[in-house]
């Protein structure tokens, strides 16, 4: 066991190759909420294309766009009814082609979001299955089980949907159950069926042919289920908190899932240009997650264990140690992330004294925005210095908080409905982005429509208010990304440095020299040594001391 407070610990040496994805900064676009060109209140692909110059100026390398496929939108597009087209609400295939080619002209790569665990119940594959007899080859594309006529309410097992309620629903004729690990409009595919596997290889090729640079793979750890679909004897919280390894759940992180991704990599590798895949796999412990980024599988896997760290120096430091240990063992980059469309925005999370991964309720004690912003800026300053790749979620560069006071009637996340409001859901991190303070819908479009209401605070946080303003969060991100790029920090070597229990500190060494990163979570200021040069600071007022909840990059 390493003592994290010994003087210095060399922790990470970069891989011998430096493919772009090892150190890329990738920006997640949630298309419903990014920019709405046609003014219907829902963002669209043309809106995204119009903001590509903004993303380029921000300094990112690639964008990942959450699902844009035809969908009944029962789970905001994660219920796909056609994997090879664009939902009219988002535009057309021609709009997708234009987006990809404009992005490429600006030197930005584009990831699509692939959803292989389940389809929409309105997908022709599921409709075809329902139209066919139980036991037919068409039904074998999904996980159907007979209803027991003697016990018609008895489900095939006790699995619960991730959105609340049982994971089995009856077919319209009442004769069979079908499995859905999410909403009942998201039936699970049967990945034991070779036809399902072949269909997805074709889908990969469809998008690769159109110039997509890679894929974010939805619930990548869920595709294979334990034989016989045995009951699960723990709770969802048990594996979310790491109390049990994820594979103890018979529907997650089963060994054979890896075979699927090996076959996908062969397809990606048959295309020119370093195409890549990132796994959305909520898998613990770290060494199990690292199995997804072995050399013949995914290129990246989101580091969600780190995302779930509390705002404590010891936890953050240990997360960094464990991440590099496990990923370096398989030669993979660590993929840092603090926010996405499923979790409470990190600005708000870090202002809480407890973690609430399932969202915040309007009647929860209001997190303090100023504390949250200070911590979020410090956290991102630290994160963007860590070697490896990093994902940003739209709006974090503007200092957007979670929106917690959305009225019940506005909420759209199926978890809210399925749990009868018990779990508040994820709408609070999905509110449309403010671009211009004095414009309809804060510049999200020019009609003022917005599929979720935007709070008044968004006006002062709008991008136009922050552009070119010294000390703004947007300019902080731009500055961090510029230094990260010029010094190739993502490809650096990392040594942990002991500056005290409440301080997370490390040196990142690259061909440009070493920088020291200091994040102070303690109450006492840390004096910047004489002769050190300040390269970046999460708080623009830093001069000779690093105060609490502040991070700096120094050359020493
Ligand atoms: C993970 C996605 O990120 C989330 O938004 C979605 O609800 C589930 N997977 C189901 O697809
Ligand atoms: Mg629109």
CA 124 – ligand 2 centroid, Å: 26
Q: What is the mean pLDDT of residues 396-415?
A: 96
Strand, coil or helix: what is 46?
helix
Report the atom number in ligand 1 closest to the C-alpha of 79.
Answer: 11
Mutational pocket test of ligand 1: of 342, 391, 419, the residue with most ligand atoms within 8 Å of the beta carbon: 342
Mutational pocket test of ligand 1: of 33, 79, 182, the residue with most ligand atoms within 8 Å of the beta carbon: 182
Report the atom number in ligand 1 closest to the C-alpha of 163.
Answer: 7
Among all bound ligands, the one having the nearest atom to the CA of 32 is 2
Binding-site residues, ligand 1, Cβ < 6 A: 75, 78, 115, 182, 218-219, 280, 341-342
pLDDT at residue number 514: 96
CA 493 – ligand 1 centroid, Å: 34
Among all bound ligands, the one having the nearest atom to the CA of 415 is 1
Report the atom number in ligand 1 closest to the C-alpha of 75.
Answer: 7
Q: To the nearest whole percent, how much of the chain has pLDDT over 70?
A: 98
CA 530 – ligand 1 centroid, Å: 49
Q: Would you place residue 259 in the very low, low, confident or very high pLDDT band (cuts 50, 70, 90)?
A: very high
Determine contact, residues 64/49, Cβ cutoff 8 Å.
no
Among all bound ligands, the one having the nearest atom to the CA of 76 is 1
Q: What is the mean pLDDT of residues 143-166?
A: 96
CA 41 – ligand 2 centroid, Å: 6
1 or 441, which is more confident? 441
Is the pTM of the predicted complex or chain greater than 0.95? yes
Which residues in 67-220 belong to E strands, given as ranges? 109-114, 144-146, 168-170, 176-179, 214-217
Element (H, E) at 458: helix 457-461
- The CA distance from 96 to 63, in Å, is 13
pLDDT at residue number 360: 83
Q: What is the tens place of the pLDDT at every residue in 220-257?
A: 999 999 999 999 999 878 877 778 999 999 999 999 99
Mutational pocket test of ligand 1: of 32, 66, 77, 78, the residue with most ligand atoms within 8 Å of the beta carbon: 78
pLDDT at residue number 355: 63
Q: What is the tens place of the pLDDT at every residue in 481-506?
A: 999 999 999 999 999 999 999 999 99
Among all bound ligands, the one having the nearest atom to the CA of 188 is 1
Q: What is the tens place of the pLDDT at every residue in 533-549?
A: 999 999 999 999 999 99
Write the DSSP assignment of 278-327 as a string of letters. Answer: EE-----SHHHHHGGGSTTS-SEEB-HHHHT--S-HHHHHHHHHHHHHHH
Write the DSSP assignment of 397-449 as a string of letters. Answer: GGTPPP-----GGG---HHHHHTTTSS--SGGG-PPPP--TTSGGGGT-SS--
Report the atom number in ligand 1 closest to the C-alpha of 414.
Answer: 7
Q: What is the mean pLDDT of the chain?
A: 96
pLDDT at residue number 9: 87
Residue nearest to atom 4 of ligand 1 (CA): 342
Tell which residue, 113, 107, 24, has the closest CA to residue 65.
Answer: 113
Which tokens go with 405? 């006071």
pLDDT at residue number 2: 56
Q: What is the mean pLDDT of residues 48-66?
A: 98
Among all bound ligands, the one having the nearest atom to the CA of 43 is 2
Question: One of 75, 280, 297, 549 is an active-site residue; which one?
Answer: 280
Q: Would you place residue 418 in the very low, low, confident or very high pLDDT band (cuts 50, 70, 90)?
A: confident
Q: Is the dihedral of CA 377, 379, 385, 389 positive or negative?
A: negative
Give yes or no for residue 126 having a pLDDT over 90.
Answer: yes
Which tokens go with 41? 């209140």
Q: What is the tens place of the pLDDT at every residue in 311-324?
A: 999 999 999 999 99
Q: What is the mean pLDDT of residues 30-52?
A: 98
Residue nearest to atom 6 of ligand 1 (CA): 78
pLDDT at residue number 241: 77
- The CA distance from 296 to 298, in Å, is 7
Element (H, E) at 101: helix 93-105
CA 219 – ligand 1 centroid, Å: 7
pLDDT at residue number 523: 96
Question: One of 95, 162, 218, 253 is an active-site residue; which one?
Answer: 218
Give yes or no for residue 6 having a pLDDT over 80.
Answer: no
pLDDT at residue number 425: 93
CA 218 – ligand 1 centroid, Å: 6
218 is catalytic: yes
CA 140 – ligand 1 centroid, Å: 24
Residue nearest to atom 5 of ligand 1 (CA): 342
Q: Would you place residue 358 in the very low, low, confident or very high pLDDT band (cuts 50, 70, 90)?
A: low
Which tokens go with 247? 């594979």
pLDDT at residue number 85: 98
pLDDT at residue number 364: 82
- The CA distance from 15 to 299, in Å, is 13
CA 163 – ligand 1 centroid, Å: 10
Q: Which residues surround ligand 2, an ion (CB under 5 A)?
A: 36, 38, 40, 42, 44
């Amino acid at each position: 066991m390493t003592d994290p407070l010994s003087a210095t610990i060399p922790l990470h040496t970069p891989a011998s190759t430096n493919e772009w994805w090892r150190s890329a900064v990738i920006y997640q676009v949630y298309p419903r909420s990014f920019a709405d060109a046609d003014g219907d209140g829902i963002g669209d692909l043309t809106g995204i294309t119009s903001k590509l110059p903004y993303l380029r100026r921000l300094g990112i390398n690639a964008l990942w766009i959450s699902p844009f496929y035809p969908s009944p939108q029962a789970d905001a597009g994660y219920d796909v009814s056609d994997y090879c087209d664009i939902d009219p609400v988002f535009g057309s295939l021609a709009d997708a082609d234009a987006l990809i080619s404009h992005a490429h002209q600006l030197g930005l790569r584009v990831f699509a979001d692939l959803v292989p665990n389940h389809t929409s119940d309105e997908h022709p594959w599921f409709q075809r299955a329902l139209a066919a007899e139980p036991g037919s080859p068409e039904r074998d594309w999904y996980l159907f089980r007979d209803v027991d006529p003697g016990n018609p309410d008895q489900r095939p097992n006790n699995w619960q949907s991730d959105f609340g309620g049982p994971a089995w629903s009856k077919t319209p004729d009442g004769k069979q159950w079908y499995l859905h690990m999410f909403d009942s409009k998201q039936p699970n595919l049967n990945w034991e069926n070779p036809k399902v596997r072949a269909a997805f290889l074709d889908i990969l090729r469809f998008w690769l042919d159109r110039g997509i640079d890679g894929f974010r793979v939805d619930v990548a750890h869920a595709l294979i289920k334990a034989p016989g679909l045995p009951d699960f004897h723990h709770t969802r919280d048990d594996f979310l908190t790491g109390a049990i390894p994820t594979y103890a759940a018979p529907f997650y992180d089963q060994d054979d899932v890896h075979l699927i991704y090996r076959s996908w990599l062969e397809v990606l590798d048959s295309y020119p240009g370093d195409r890549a895949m990132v796994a959305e796999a909520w898998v613990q412990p770290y060494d199990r997650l690292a199995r997804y980024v072995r050399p013949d599988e995914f290129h990246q896997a989101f580091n969600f264990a780190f995302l779930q760290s509390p705002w404590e120096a010891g936890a953050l430091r240990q997360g960094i140690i464990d991440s590099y240990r496990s990923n370096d063992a398989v030669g993979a980059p660590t993929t840092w992330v603090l926010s996405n469309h499923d979790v409470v925005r990190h600005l708000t999370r870090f202002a809480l004294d407890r973690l609430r991964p399932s969202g915040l309720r309007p009647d929860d004690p209001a997190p303090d925005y100023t504390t949250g912003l200070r911590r979020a800026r410090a956290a991102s300053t630290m994160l963007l210095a860590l070697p490896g790749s990093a994902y940003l979620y739209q709006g974090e560069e503007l200092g957007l908080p979670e929106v917690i006071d959305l009225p019940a009637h506005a909420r759209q996340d199926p978890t809210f409905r399925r749990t009868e409001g018990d779990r508040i859901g994820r709408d609070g991190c999905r509110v449309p982005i403010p671009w211009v303070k004095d414009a309809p819908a804060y510049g999200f479009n020019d009609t003022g429509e917005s599929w979720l209401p935007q709070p008044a605070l968004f006006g002062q946080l709008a991008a136009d208010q922050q552009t070119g303003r010294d000390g703004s969060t947007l300019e902080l991100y731009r500055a961090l990304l510029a230094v990260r790029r010029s010094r190739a920090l993502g490809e650096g070597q990392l040594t942990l440095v002991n500056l005290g229990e409440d301080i997370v500190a490390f040196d990142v060494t690259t061909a440009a020299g070493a920088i020291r990163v200091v994040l102070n979570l303690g109450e006492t200021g840390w004096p910047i040594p004489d002769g050190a040069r300040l390269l970046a600071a999460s708080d623009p007022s830093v001069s000779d001391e690093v105060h609490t909840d502040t991070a700096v990059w120094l050359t020493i």
